[in-house]
Amino acid sequence: MAGRQTDAAGVEPVAAVSLSDIAAQAAACHLEVLGGFQAEGDPALPAGTRTVLMLGPREPGYWDAVKASPEWAGSDPVDRWSRRVVGRLACDLGAKALFPFGGPPWQPFYTWALRTGSVWESPVKLLVHGQQGLMVSFRGALALKRVVDLPPPPPRPCDVCAKPCLTACPVGALTGAGYDVPRCHDHLSRREGAACMTGGCRVRATCPVSQAYARMPEQSAYHMRQFHR
């Protein structure tokens, strides 16, 4: 019986895996692959990592799945759901699950997102995605020891946008200069901030790409309550 082939260093090559296959498995879990990058030899990632894929909510379906899950009855339901679902997906793929919560130390999801070439810094410094706009969020990432062929980066939507996000905040807490968090919290504590609390951040909502994304208003309201508690 012939022995397994190895490279010059005596290491058995790791077979490539289809991005479409991984995306299909993620979709079955109500998650979407929002981008990825090659990361072989990156000391900041788990040893042996060759590809990182970023995972976020896939709508419609994600929010209903979270609310119907056993985690919904306890504290931090979204993070606990993410640990279970992303963790199980990682096990199925022989990958390591990484999360944007649970620190310190915190994983550099902002930097990783930019490395994908499918997520960019928006005019208001928040991340923006080509299909989810300023509603983009991450529930985890997969550090795979296999090579995944990735598509070329898509066009940056902000390059052909009138940039309504720059003037959408009613109190100027989120602008091209960055995010004034205390001013935002102060507004949300007032009667005038009720629309933001129940409908979500106006800056995120005014993004033309965000408006085409099927995020439920109650999900935005939930995250506003979590942010402003």
* Dihedral sign from CA coordinates of 221, 181, 174, 207: negative
| Cα separation, 129 vs 139, whole angstroms | 15
Of 225, 217, 159, 148, the residue nearest 188 (C-alpha) = 225
pLDDT of residue 140: 98
Q: Which residues of the chain have pLDDT under 70?
A: 1-16
| Cα separation, 202 vs 24, whole angstroms | 32
Please count the residues of the chain.
Answer: 229
Contact 101, 110 (CB under 8 A): no
Q: Tokens 């998650």 correspond to what residue?
A: 31
| Strand-pair partners of 18 | none
For residue 187, what are its two tokens? 């507004």
Instruction: Tell me, yes or no, if the pTM score tops 0.85.
Output: yes
| Cα separation, 192 vs 189, whole angstroms | 8
| Cα separation, 157 vs 36, whole angstroms | 18
Phi–psi pair at 13, nearest 5 degrees:
-60, 145
The single-letter code of the amino acid at 74 is G
pLDDT of residue 215: 86
Spatial neighbors of 3 by CB under 8 A, at least 6 apart, are none
